[in-house]
A and B are shown apart, each in its own frame.
Chain A
Amino acid sequence: MESEYERLRKKVENYPSASAYNRLAELARLNADDGEAERVCQRCIKEFPRNGQAYVILGEISLSRGRKDNALAQLLNAVERDARSYAGHRMLAEVYAAEQQFAKSLHHLRQILVFKPGDAQVTAKIDEMTAKAGNSPAPAPARKPSTNTFRGNTGNMSAVAITPGGVPILTAKAASAPGSRTASLQALCSENGVRGAVVADNQGRVVVAQGAVDQQADLLAALAADLTAAASETLTALGHNQLASWIIEFDKGQILAFRRDAVLTLAILADTGVRAALLELRARQVLIDLGVA
Chain B
Amino acid sequence: MQDILDKLNRVRGVGGSLVISPDGLPMITALRQGTDETATSATLGNLLGAAQRLGEQLGLGGTKSLQTIASAGGLLILPAGPAFLAILMDPTANLALLQLEARPFAERLAQRLSL
Interface residues of A (CB under 8 A from B): 46-47, 50, 216, 219-220, 223-224, 226-227, 229-231, 233-235, 237-255, 269
Contact = CB atoms under 8 A, between A and B. Distances in A.
B51 to A, nearest CB: 5
Contacts, number: 114
B68 A223 contact: no
A234 B39 CA distance: 9
Given A230-B49, A250-B63, A251-B60, 5 more contacts: A230-B47, A234-B44, A235-B68, A242-B70, A247-B65
Nearest to A46: B94
A231 to B, nearest CB: 4
B58 A227 contact: no
Interface core residue of A47, A248, A254 (most chain B CB under 10 Å) = A248
Given A237-B36, A250-B55, A255-B54, A245 B64 contact: no
Contact of A246 (B67, B72, B91): B67
A234 to B, nearest CB: 4
Contacts of A269: 58
B66 to A, nearest CB: 5
Contacts of B63: 248-250
How many of chain B's residues touch chain A, expressed as a range?
Answer: 35 or more
Contact of B68 (A216, A245, A253, A254): A245
Contacts of B62: 250-251
A216 B58 contact: yes
B69 interface: yes
Contacts of B85: none
B22 interface: no
A contact face: mostly helix, strand, loop, or mixed: mixed
B75 A238 contact: yes
In the A-B complex, the 3 residue pairs with the closest CB atoms: A251-B61, A250-B60, A240-B70
B57 A238 contact: no
Given A230-B47, A234-B44, A249 B70 contact: no
Contacts of B69: 243-246
A246 B44 contact: no
Contact of B73 (A219, A238, A245, A252): A238
Contacts of B35: 238
Contacts of B1: none
Given A223-B58, A248-B65, A250-B62, A230 B72 contact: no
Contacts of A50: 71, 91
A227 B72 contact: no
A250 B69 CA distance: 18
Given A242-B70, A250-B60, A227 B39 contact: no
11 contacts: A219-B57, A223-B57, A230-B46, A230-B50, A238-B73, A238-B75, A248-B55, A248-B63, A250-B63, A250-B64, A255-B60
